[in-house]
Amino acid sequence: MAGHRRVILLDYRGVGASAGMVRDRFEDMAADAIAAIHTLGLSQVDLLGLSTGGMTAPAGRRAAKAYLVRMKRRRTGRDKPVTPGVFRAQLRAVNRWGHQIPTGASSTAPTLILHGDRDRMDRHRVPATLTTTFHIQGESIMRAFVFDNYKQPVHEAEIPEPAVGDRDLLIRVEAAGLNHLDERLRAGEFKAILPYKTPLTLGHDLAGTVIRTGSKVTHFVAGDRVYSRPRDHRIGTFAERIAVDEADVSLAPTSISIVEAASLPLVALTAWQALVEKGNVQAGQKVLIHAGAGGVGSIAIQLAKHLGAEVATTVSGKNADFARELGADVVIDYRTQEFETELSGYDFVLDPLGGDNLAKSLTILKRGGKAVGISGPPTPTFAKSAGLNPVVRLAITALSRRIRALAEKLGVSYEFLLMHASGDQLRQITQLVDRGVIRPVVSATFPFDQTAHALASLGTSSIRGKAVIIGADQSA
């Protein structure tokens, strides 16, 4: 029958798989199915199989029993492949609801399947050439790591897939870099300058594959392998999928793995914006990069060398050789040496530590030199450009008074950087990576379901370079 009739199976993730976040009435699901059929340009179909997750079956012992059988076969949060037995049980349930199954209907060779992306229901039973992915706005749910209120722990949740705007790419997250910013956001440290509503999905870095594109997207197509640091207020890469403005995305480097690509966007953009945008670092200048073994530092050393600078860095002794391999000309062990007595006449300092470290850094600059701080304190100039409210601006003015006064006294300048998303800058970083100028440093990976643990361990462990979460699909 399927050879010459239209047969549609619509796998609708039911309430059993979604913590009640999808439609819970059969009539509403049927309305979605009809909308789906119309969107395909059809006015009628010969057979519609609507898998609704079981819970929506009308009350009845046998329907409930069939549902329980199915639940037993389910792995955490996702269905096992539906077996012919289960499918026959579903057909029987449809029959019980009073629908007529046409004689000769085949459940093994449908001509068309509507399904969520990478759904397991069809992969084992239907040739890929006969399937199509179809999305109903708000229909898909996905796994994500969220916190419900500031200072509350991060936990896994099933949340609706984000809506995809005209200029957005829906990206399957195959790996997601971990950043201190995630933990600091959750702790409420950024409330004043980056106010987020909770619950919030965390995650600032991603590498993955474009699943589909908004109608006005011009630079990307489904299937592209990309990486990104999504802009503020649109973060959330600790999830199966994310919608990102195409302006924040670049094709990922082809010479490195997807995990390595996911380690780069936030730290490489930070290094770029500090050294190129704010520092205007030139060949022959003397540059100090603090914390050269860290996420930002390990990339900043390589970028500063590429710009032609003479680079000094601070690391603990065990990382001295590593820093030299990255290109550092002068390596200071911060545990045994005082950089402020060893170095002088520098043009530029990148400081990810703040406090006394920043104050001491100003003293090694030559007159006219510049320090860029990424741990603070923020400055009134930053507060103004970020459009912060007058109360926060006053507080920032007070907080940064000491360091600004010191800079003035020494004839140097201090700027605070809060990095921002930029697909254009990422494209330049892609080229540097593929030319072998910058290499990512990934020292730890975690499976997706250990995201909360991985975040918590960021503050307590000292790893070289970056830690990366392997995406939900890849960790299975």
Ligand X SMILES: NC(=O)c1ccc[n+]([C@@H]2O[C@H](COP(=O)([O-])OP(=O)(O)OC[C@H]3O[C@@H](n4cnc5c(N)ncnc54)[C@H](OP(=O)(O)O)[C@@H]3O)[C@@H](O)[C@H]2O)c1
Q: Which residues bind ligand X (CB under 6 A)?
A: 179-181, 184, 266-267, 270, 290-291, 293-297, 314-316, 319, 334, 352-353, 357, 374-375, 417-419, 462
CB-nearer residue toward ligand X: 431 or 462: 462
* CB contact at 8 A, 283 and 299: no
Closest distance of CB 31 from ligand X, Å: 46
Closest distance of CB 455 from ligand X, Å: 12
CB-nearer residue toward ligand X: 60 or 355: 355
Which residue shows structure tokens 């923020």?
378
Q: Can you spell out the DSSP letters for 319-387?
A: GHHHHHHHT-SEEEETTT--HHHH--SEEEEEESS-HHHHHHHHHTEEEEEEEEESSS---HHHHHHTT
CB-nearer residue toward ligand X: 121 or 268: 268
Q: Can you spell out the DSSP letters for 137-200?
A: TTT-EEEEEEESSTTSPPEEEEEEPPP--TTEEEEEEEEEE--HHHHHHHTTTTTTTS---SSE
Closest distance of CB 74 from ligand X, Å: 38
For β-strands 365-373 and 413-416, DSSP reports them as parallel
Angle, in degrees to the nearest 10, between helices 265-272 and 423-434: 100
Closest distance of CB 267 from ligand X, Å: 6
CB-nearer residue toward ligand X: 49 or 376: 376
Q: What's the CA gap between 209 and 429, in Å, rounded?
A: 18
Closest distance of CB 357 from ligand X, Å: 6
Closest distance of CB 229 from ligand X, Å: 10
Closest distance of CB 236 from ligand X, Å: 18
Closest distance of CB 178 from ligand X, Å: 9
Q: What's the CA gap between 171 and 169, in Å, rounded?
A: 6
Q: Closest residue (Cβ) to ligand X? A: 294
Q: Which amino acid is at 132?
A: T
Q: What's the CA gap between 465 and 325, in Å, rounded?
A: 13
* Assigned token pair, 430: 């892609």
Closest distance of CB 458 from ligand X, Å: 7
CB-nearer residue toward ligand X: 198 or 462: 462
Task: Note if the bond before 377 is cis, omega within 30 degrees.
Answer: yes
Q: What's the CA gap between 365 and 344, in Å, rounded?
A: 6
CB-nearer residue toward ligand X: 157 or 326: 326
CB-nearer residue toward ligand X: 131 or 375: 375
CB-nearer residue toward ligand X: 252 or 419: 419
Q: Which amino acid is at 322?
A: F
CA distances from 249 to 51, 171, 277, 349 (A): 35, 10, 19, 29
CB-nearer residue toward ligand X: 183 or 434: 183
Strand partners, 289: 313, 350
